[in-house]
Amino acid sequence: MASSDIARHLLYQSRLERPSSSPAEEVPDEMFLKRGDCSRSLSLSGKVGFDSLPDQLVNKSTSQGFCFNILCIGETGIGKSTLMDTLFNTRFENYEESHFESEVRLRAQTYGLQESNVNLKLTIVSTVGFGDQMNKDDSYKPVVDYIDAQFEAYLQEELKIKRSLYNYHDTRIHACLYFISPTGHSLKSLDLVTMKALDSKVNIIPIIAKADTVSKNELHKFKIKIMSELVSNGVQIYQFPTDDESVSKMNATMNGILPFAVVGSIDEVKIGNKMVKARQYPWGIVQVENENHCDFVKLREMLVCVNMEDLREQTHARHYELYRQCKLEEMGFRDNDPENKPVSLQETYEAKRQEFLNELQRREDEMRQMFVQRVKEKELELKEAERELQNKFEQLKSIHHEEKRKLDDKKKILEDEINAFSKRKSATELLQAQAFATPASINVKKDKDRKK
């Protein structure tokens, strides 16, 4: 466990246990038994000094500093930024967000604050565009994804061989302020769906925003209505712890006042001779820190002064633990085997590795078989194609032979006809020559004879 974790754990424990100044011999046995410690209780005959351990832890934690992360979920312009400024008495960087976002997104900003000698790394995450879309079915998903992503980052750091949780910037959300619109009627379905999706992941503190816009009677009824709707829909909101005697009474009372109806403003108005944070209207002044006007002070007391450490503790011990458990189970890790015998991490890892190797082998065999099958199929296909080509070739060859034979026959007939024709032609020419030759030769002879 990292020293910051030990400090946190022991600080939490020390609140539940007796004050550090109590002598050790006065610790009752049942306290040891309660902690599952069966060692024998002995009395000391003189001062040893380990009673300074809580102080050592406090000093160490103080020098390390603390971190606290708040998630503000609420419609655009509902007063998220104003309330944060009012809570921490400062002006954080605020931008007016657009009302035309196509989907919900989250904007995180981290600040370093100091009060006395305590340093606080504060991260404020606000929803942007929440409730602005026509279809609000998936509005809660980016919020869930964001919270899970912070758990995952922490888990990854924890699972590293070389962990640096000591100086790790823990971005897990410790408190989720859910801003309810001051309608005076009931919760919107978006509110119920979102809170239901988040209740196992984060400490939800519902608040009625801009409570100065609802009358006193309406506010009372509105609070009762909201709480009954949360109960009937099974939404688990954060309960201020009642196991620490010093604050149990106050926390129990505050649990009955939820949801806090708050007003935010850092504008100061002079009341009597004092400057107070207030909202000024034509008809009067709403004082932010006046408990008759709103529950702002109660919220600040519960969130910052009394339960900040419990919120951090619950985030780590309850919400993160659940996330870690589900994640490790998803990865195949179990504490017990199917016969309920404890299994070590090493055994689980070996079993998982073997399972993985078997699966790999099975897939390899399957792929090899598939490959051989495909090659066979391809070979058959190729052989078939070759046979078809051969047949086609043979067919074409025989057609070619037949046509050649026919052409040769025709050629022979034509040659015979040409020969016969040539013979007839030469016979005809001979006859013609004879026919022309007879009278002419007679005439030539006659001429010759006359000349003689």
Query: Which residues in this chain contact Mg ion in the complex, by CB under 5 A?
Result: 80-81
Complex with ligand GTP: residue 78 or 187, whichever CB lies closer: 78
State the nearest-atom distance from the C-beta of 83 to ligand GTP, in Å.
6
Structure tokens at 293: 């006007």
SS3 71: strand
Among 8, 12, 15, 97, which residue sits at the site for ligand GTP (rule: CB under 6 A)? Answer: 97
Determine if 76 is a binding residue for ligand GTP (CB under 6 A): yes
Binding mask 19-58 for ligand GTP (x = CB under 6 A): ----------------------------------------
Determine if 82 is a binding residue for ligand GTP (CB under 6 A): yes
Strand ranges for 130-262 from DSSP E: 175-180, 204-208, 260-261
Among 26, 96, 339, 449, which residue sits at the site for ligand GTP (rule: CB under 6 A)? Answer: 96
Determine if 81 is a binding residue for ligand GTP (CB under 6 A): yes
Among 70, 263, 299, 311, which residue sits at the site for ligand GTP (rule: CB under 6 A)? Answer: 263
Instruction: Determine the residue with CB nearest ligand GTP.
Output: 79
- Beta strand pairing call for 274-281 and 284-287: antiparallel
State the nearest-atom distance from the C-beta of 326 to Mg ion, in Å.
32
Q: Which residues contact 441 (CB under 8 A, 6 or more apart)?
A: none
SS3 211: helix
- 3 state SS for 274-329: EEEEEEEECCEEEECCCCCCCCHHHHHHHHHHHCHHHHHHHHHHHHHHHHHHHHHH
Complex with ligand GTP: residue 199 or 212, whichever CB lies closer: 212
Binding mask 157-196 for ligand GTP (x = CB under 6 A): ----------------------------------------
Among 54, 79, 206, 259, which residue sits at the site for ligand GTP (rule: CB under 6 A)? Answer: 79
Q: Which stretch binds ligand GTP (CB under 6 A): 24-32, 135-143, 207-215, 237-245?
A: 207-215
State the nearest-atom distance from the C-beta of 115 to Mg ion, in Å.
23
The amino acid occupying position 22 is S
Determine if 247 is a binding residue for ligand GTP (CB under 6 A): no
The DSSP code for 35 is: T
Report CA-CA distances (Å) from 297 to 258, 286, 290, 294. Answer: 13, 13, 8, 8
Report CA-CA distances (Å) from 247 to 158, 292, 301, 314. Answer: 33, 22, 11, 17
The count of residues interacting with ligand GTP (CB under 6 A) is 17
Q: Is 266 exposed, middle or buried (0-12, 13-18, 19+ CB in 10 A)?
A: middle
263 is in the binding site of which of Mg ion, ligand GTP, none (Cβ under 5 to 8 A by kind)? ligand GTP
Instruction: Determine the residue with CB nearest Mg ion.
Output: 81
State the nearest-atom distance from the C-beta of 142 to ligand GTP, in Å.
15
Determine if 80 is a binding residue for ligand GTP (CB under 6 A): yes
What distance in Å separates the CA atoms of residue 131 and residue 112, rounded to the nearest whole number?
30
